[in-house]
């Protein structure tokens, strides 16, 4: 299935390409810029690889199967967004807001989730190798069946996170916690 190009996707009367151009101007402080507000947008299957969506509003957006590889999403609001089966490899999501987002089966290896709000996020069966989850809020997050090899969970409060069935043998856990202790809490 071919990815949809930003020029072919419309939201609130503008093409996604126009919205992204205005957002780039906004982000760099230039005249004519406007923050990207893609609340509820259907961006499923879109090619957004390398896009700068820093601080963009993507609440309840449908990003299923979207290519977001190497995209910039620091501070973006993805509350309730559908990112099922999205390709997020090597994306910067520092301080992004994702409560209630669906990242089931997402390719999210190498993602920077530093200080993100990941409360109640569904990460079931997601690829989360080499992710940084330091200081992230993972309360209520579901990680069952996720691949978390070499993930960084240092300084992360795992209270309320479901890590059942996750191999944590190569994961950097919070100081003083063992994989067995984390698994017991999740059971």
Encode pLDDT of 93-144 as tens digits.
999 999 999 999 999 999 999 999 999 999 999 999 999 999 999 999 999 9
Phi and psi angles of residue 62, each rounded to the nearest 5 degrees, phi first: -95, 105
CB 113 within 8 A of CB 92: no
Structural domain count of the chain: 1
Per the domain annotation, does 13 fall within a domain? no
Per the domain annotation, does 136 fall within a domain? yes
- Domain span at 64: 48-187
Per the domain annotation, does 157 fall within a domain? yes
Per the domain annotation, does 29 fall within a domain? no
Per the domain annotation, does 104 fall within a domain? yes
Can you give the pTM of this predicted structure? Answer: 0.94
For the residues of 35-92, what is the DSSP string, one character each? --B-TT-B-TTBB-TT-B-TT-B-TT-B-TT-B-TT-B-TT-B-TT-B-TT-B-TT-B
CB 37 within 8 A of CB 51: no
Per the domain annotation, does 39 fall within a domain? no
Per the domain annotation, does 16 fall within a domain? no
For residue 113, the cross-strand partners are: none
Question: Which CATH number is 115's domain given?
Answer: 2.160.20.80
Per the domain annotation, does 105 fall within a domain? yes
């Amino acid at each position: 299935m071919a990815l949809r190009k930003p020029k072919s996707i419309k939201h609130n009367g503008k093409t996604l390409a126009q919205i992204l151009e205005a957002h780039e101007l906004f982000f760099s402080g230039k005249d004519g810029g406007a923050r990207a507000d893609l609340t509820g947008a259907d961006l499923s299957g879109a090619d957004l690889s390398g896009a700068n969506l820093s601080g963009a509003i993507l609440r309840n957006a449908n990003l299923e199967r979207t290519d977001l590889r190497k995209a910039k999403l620091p501070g973006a609001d993805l509350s309730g967004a559908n990112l099922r089966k999205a390709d997020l490899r090597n994306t910067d999501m520092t301080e992004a807001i994702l409560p209630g987002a669906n990242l089931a089966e997402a390719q999210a290896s190498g993602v920077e989730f530093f200080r993100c709000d990941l409360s109640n996020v569904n990460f079931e069966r997601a690829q989360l190798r080499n992710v940084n989850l330091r200081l992230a809020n993972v309360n209520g997050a579901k990680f069952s069946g996720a691949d978390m090899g070499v993930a960084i969970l240092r300084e992360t409060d795992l209270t309320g996170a479901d890590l059942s069935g996750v191999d944590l043998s190569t994961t950097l856990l919070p100081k003083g916690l063992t994989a067995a202790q984390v698994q017991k809490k999740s059971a």
